[in-house]
């Protein structure tokens, strides 16, 4: 019973687990001297750059930010790991002992999990690019149609612009 009391989870994070490691004094002094001699505009991002801001978005879309892709990748990882585990366990059980078969099944499940994750991300990157190109083409067609309607309306033909004359006017 006394062992159960020592297994309680801590309520607050430990300061040593959160704090960054402190370099040795000699190394810190050498690093400061090396930084003083270098120019600041050599392409390195500073602490105040816009890319490091918490709300900053990158130009390229990510698989994790796409709602369908994130769910699909999670499903693929789960099914890949489970399928690899079950298949390897089934194939290893008749030829090896139970412990060895379980170990092989765990390793195969882990490998299949990683392979399924990589494959799903690979496929979804391409699908997202295709989806973005499709949306871009649709927007371009809509813009061209709108521009043509505006030009026809400016030429004095309101019915050709998709705005029929109102009855009673």
Q: Identify the residue whose tokens are 């050709």.
A: 160
Q: Does residue 82 have a pLDDT over 70?
A: yes
Distance CA 10, CA 67 (A): 34
What is the model's pLDDT at position 95? Answer: 86
Q: Are 149 and 101 in contact (CB under 8 A)?
A: no
Task: List alpha helices for the chain, DSSP H.
Answer: 2-5, 15-18, 25-37, 67-92, 98-154
Distance CA 46, CA 137 (A): 38
Token pair in block for residue 95: 């030829």
Please list, in sequence order, all residues whose beta carbon lies within 8 angstroms of the beta carbon of residue 32, skipping any fewer than 6 positions away.
none
33-55 mean pLDDT: 51
* Tens of pLDDT, residues 105-164: 999 999 999 999 999 999 999 999 999 999 999 999 999 999 999 998 888 765 654 555
Q: What is the pTM of this model?
A: 0.53
What is the model's pLDDT at position 1? Answer: 46
């Amino acid at each position: 019973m006394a062992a159960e009391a020592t297994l309680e989870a801590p309520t607050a994070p430990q300061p040593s687990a959160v704090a960054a490691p402190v370099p040795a004094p000699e190394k810190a002094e050498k690093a400061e001297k090396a930084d003083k001699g270098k120019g600041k505009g050599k392409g390195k991002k500073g602490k105040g750059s816009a890319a490091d801001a918490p709300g900053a978005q990158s130009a390229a879309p990510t698989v994790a930010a796409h709602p369908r892709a994130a769910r699909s990748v999670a499903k693929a990882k789960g099914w890949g790991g489970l399928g690899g585990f079950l298949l390897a366990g089934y194939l290893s059980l008749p030829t090896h002992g139970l412990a060895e078969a379980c170990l092989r099944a765990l390793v195969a499940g882990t490998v299949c999990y990683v392979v399924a994750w990589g494959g799903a991300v690979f496929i979804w990157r391409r699908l997202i690019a295709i989806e973005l190109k499709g949306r871009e083409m649709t927007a371009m067609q809509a813009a061209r149609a709108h521009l043509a309607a505006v030009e026809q309306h400016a030429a004095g033909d309101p019915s050709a612009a998709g705005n029929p004359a109102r009855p009673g006017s």
